[in-house]
Chains A and B, each alone.
Chain A
Amino acid sequence: MVKLSTTDVSHIAKLANLKLTKAQTEKYKEQLSAVLTYFDELNEVDTKNTEPTSQTTGLTNVTREDVLNPNQTLSVEEALSGTDKIKNNYFSVPAILNKE
């Protein structure tokens, strides 16, 4: 049985860069607790000697030559076409550093 607290939910929302209303926080608290409780069944499985699988291709370290492919490049206009927050041909982004 998993019971998330309001603080837990607010902490997760902060990590995920999401702003939740009080009502949303309460709703997700209930719904996520129910789903997490369902996962308790995994405790039945003995995985002491099992390696994890993160992907199924069997491939490792797939690389390519570090060369420019002219068919795979976008013009400045194309690259900026999805946004209107542009300054001097660059994306204008929210500041993340303080002035000091």
Chain B
Amino acid sequence: MKLPKTIQETKDGLKKKQFSAVELVDSYLERIKKYNPELNAFITVSEEKAYEDAKRIGSSSLDRPLSGVVVAYKDLFLTKGIRTTAASSVLSDYRPSYSATVVKRLEEAGAICIGKTNCDAWAHGASGENSDFGVTKNPWNREYVPGGSSSGSAVSVAAALSLIATGTDTGGSIRQPASFCNVVGFKPTYGAVSRYGVVAMSSSLDSIGHFTRTVSDARTVFNITKGGDGLDATLSQAREHGKKNHFTIGIPKEYFADGLDSQVEEKILEAIEVYKKKGIKFKQVSLPMTKYAISIYYIIQPAEVSSNLGRYDAVRYGSGRSAFGQEAVRRIMLGTYVLSSGYYDAYYLKALKVRSKIITELDQTFKGVDALIAPVSPTGPFKLGEKVSDPLSMYLSDVYTVTGNIAGIPGISIPAGFTQQGLPIGFQLMGPRFSEETLFNLGEIYQSETDFHLMEPKI
């Protein structure tokens, strides 16, 4: 059976009876059984639940927005009754007694839950290598990392082990693996999608997004997951940004300076040419403050991590603190230090002040442009093991994505071609808070002119 590539193809196939929901589940499970032992994209495959969901989709319930759409959840999303580990030994036996808001909403929209995906433990990492359940491999070349932290979710969509997958993005954890795996990765505005029932990493930075093959599907999923649930006090309604037909995109000159791989730069310049042909205007902009984004991210994020991971003491669930892996320990230690008496002002408070400066600079910039175009990562996918012993160099690979989290603005990573080695490269669009419509519109324009997103790895 030929698997559908989009939500629309899934729904059409079901309506025209080209396949049933149960047959869809059969096909995805078959692929998971065949490819997952090597790719290691899944921690838990929820076969029983998938068939249960599929059987509920009778002929009467084909009109829901995601009827028959097979979804995989990053293993940070609580799924009632299905083991949820955060890819950490601390939670290796944890079975949640409730589901995350996003899980509930996708389920109510007709989606089928196929399983829980691997990631860097507690979402700490940019390569997928920090998982206590083994590394995930890039389906385009198994010697390379798939990116992280939402490694398994990106691989799941890229290797057609599910149609869509959820992720969390605290410093680039959706956009970067999407770019490494040739799928669309979408990070919404902070406060647009509920974090309720998602294992917390860094509470002022965490955003809940997803992976799809097309930008149009990213839009459809966002329209289901967004909005208040009365359970996450940071949520607010999107303000309407009136419909636009003429766009101006800013090119931040600091993002195309030293440290950017020439192949990555080339792909982004090609994307700019695609847009120019469609009449979209470009303008050089300067964001001098963003050079400090990495420093303040690696102060604020570990500080919030040390606080959020403080609750894991094996009393109500999970194992004791000795079960934390080395990256979690490193971040708890760093965070505890920058918050500790005598250092709080020098590190944490200073970081919050520079955060204000970055936000002010972006606000000013967005008065003159509708969006920004940028690299996702300074290089294409790197080799497994290449950066594991050097945490600072691993941290620096977040340089182009963390600004989006610091400012709470939305971003999307879109497939833009391949390196000479045949590895995927994406480009990133970012916009002001609640400018998702603009990003989706721009993303759709690009995908209507290109077909990189339709290319699949030979696995």
Residues of A within 8 A of B (CB): 4, 8-9, 12-13, 15-20, 24, 28, 31-32, 34-36, 38-39, 41-42, 45, 47, 50-59, 62, 64, 72, 74, 78-79, 81-83, 85, 91, 93-94
Contact = CB atoms under 8 A, between A and B. Distances in A.
B356 A51 contact: yes
A41 B295 CA distance: 8
Contacts of B330: 28, 31-32
B60 interface: no
Contacts of B407: 56
Contacts of A82: 94-95, 97, 316-318
A54 B296 CA distance: 12
Nearest to B332: A16
Interface string B344-375: 00010111111111010000000000000000
Given A24-B329, A53-B353, 5 more contacts: A18-B332, A35-B395, A53-B352, A59-B234, A78-B97
B110 interface: no
Given A18-B321, A47-B353, A56-B359, A13 B333 contact: yes
A41 B306 contact: no
A10 B350 CA distance: 25
Interface string B264-294: 0000000000000000000000000101101
Interface size class for chain B? Answer: 35 or more
A78 to B, nearest CB: 4
Contacts of A93: 315
Interface stretch (B50-58, B173-181, B334-342, B417-425): B334-342
Given A13-B333, A18-B329, A41-B295, A56 B321 contact: no
B95 to A, nearest CB: 7
10 contacts: A4-B337, A17-B310, A19-B321, A28-B330, A31-B392, A50-B353, A52-B353, A52-B356, A59-B191, A78-B97
A55 B234 contact: yes
B285 to A, nearest CB: 20
B299 interface: yes
Contacts of B188: none
A85 B314 CA distance: 9
B334 A35 contact: yes
A13 B324 CA distance: 13
Nearest to A43: B350
Nearest to A49: B353
Given A47-B357, A52-B355, A35 B391 contact: yes
B322 interface: yes
Contacts of B97: 74, 78-79, 81-82
